[in-house]
Amino acid sequence: MKALFVSLLIAFFVPIGLLAVSDAGTSDIVEMGQNPSGEESEAGSNALTEIATGFGVTWPNLIAQMINFSLVATVLYFFAVKPISRTLDERQQKIADGLQYAEEMKTQLAEAERERAAKMKEAAQDAQRILSESREQSKEMIEHKTQEAAAHAEAIIRKASEATELERQKMLSDVRKEVARLVVATTSTVLSRELSDEDKQTFSDAAAKELAGSAS
Amino acid sequence: MTRDKKILRFAKNLVELSREHGVVTESRVAEVLNGMKRAELRRKLLVLKTYLYFIRRAVAQQTAVVSTPGALSPEALTAIETSFTQVYGRPISAVTTPEPSLIAGVRIRVGDDVYDASIAGRLERFAENVH
């Protein structure tokens, strides 16, 4: 901004200075008579003089204008250009900071992306490992459960077999008891009917003597 | 039966008084009863009931109840008395009682002991031993 302002001043003063210098130079040359093309130079200076005169440009006015302009330029410089320049510098600094921040953020984003990718890769590896372990465990569990089921089935079959055997034994025992009961009942009936009183007394005497003998 | 220790002890003593040569006899029991009738005792009825209980047990212990469906020869009864007297170490007298359900043979009961040599008993044991 400062450079722009200086460029404007130069662009404003240089033509005027050149005009003044050319005006003064032309007068000197005309007076010395050393100009090879004196007529042309004289015609040019006259034209400039006429223009300056036409526009009302005189040295005192010009100097006053220059002073005025310098004052205005100085005031403008200190109260307008400088704050604006400061503001622009601050904004430029902010923009630069923002750009730097954006760059840093971009770097951090790239770093984060890289870390994320690494973590994703690690997570995928972990997931694969867990999946493998889970498959192994499920396989082992299936085998274990299969063995348990087989053992359970064998136990059930064994128990059923034992229960069947017990039932069979019980049934045989019941049959034997029933047969024995029938035999006893039949024998009792037959003996009661067939044994005579003499036979009964003989048997009773023998039994009594047998008891007496065994008791002593 | 009472649980009074004094009455129990008194009834047992009466039972011992009722024995003659270790055997409870009817005459001694009658003497004991006459004595009790003359004596003034408190709770006499309870004493008599306890005495009756112990007398029955003593008679049962000195008696072999021979159950048989028919008659039994005197020799068999004598053999039973002799044998059980030796076994128990006290005089045992045998009495017969008819029991037709035994079919044949004898069943002897002395106190709480039972000796069975009957056909019905053997058949019962046979039926019980069949499994």
pLDDT single digits (tens) B46-71: 999 999 999 999 999 899 999 999 88
Query: By three-state DSSP, how is residue A10 classified?
Result: helix
Question: Hey, are the CB atoms on B69 and A200 less than 8 Å from each other?
Answer: yes
Q: Which of B68, B79, B86 sits opposite A204 (nearest CB)?
A: B68
Question: Hey, are the CB atoms on A201 and B70 less than 8 Å from each other?
Answer: yes
Residue with tokens 């430029």: A92
Least confident of A14-18, A151-155, A206-210, B82-86: A14-18
Question: Hey, are the CB atoms on B76 and A197 less than 8 Å from each other?
Answer: no
Cα–Cα dist B18/B6, whole Å: 18
For residues B25-49, average pLDDT: 90
In chain B, what residues touch A183 (CB-CB under 8 Å)? 126-127
Cα–Cα dist A13/A26, whole Å: 20
pLDDT at site A33? 44
Cα–Cα dist A35/A18, whole Å: 19
Residue type, A126: D
pLDDT at site A1? 60
Cβ proximity of B53 and B1 under 8 Å = yes
Question: Hey, are the CB atoms on A215 and B84 less than 8 Å from each other?
Answer: yes
- pLDDT reading at A215 higher than 80: no
**Least Cα separation, residue B77 to chain A (angstroms):** 8
* CB pairs A-B closer than 8 Å: 93
Question: Hey, are the CB atoms on A200 and B84 less than 8 Å from each other?
Answer: no
- pLDDT reading at A21 higher than 90: no
In chain A, what residues touch B83 (CB-CB under 8 Å)? 211-213, 215-216
For residues A167-188, average pLDDT: 91
Beta-carbon count within 10 A of B120 CB: 22
pLDDT at site A20? 57
Q: Which pLDDT band, with edges at 50, 70 and 90, does A97 fall under? A: very high
Cβ proximity of A204 and B72 under 8 Å = yes
Q: Which residues contact A215 (CB under 8 A, 6 or more apart)?
A: B83, B84, B87, B115
- pLDDT reading at A30 higher than 50: no
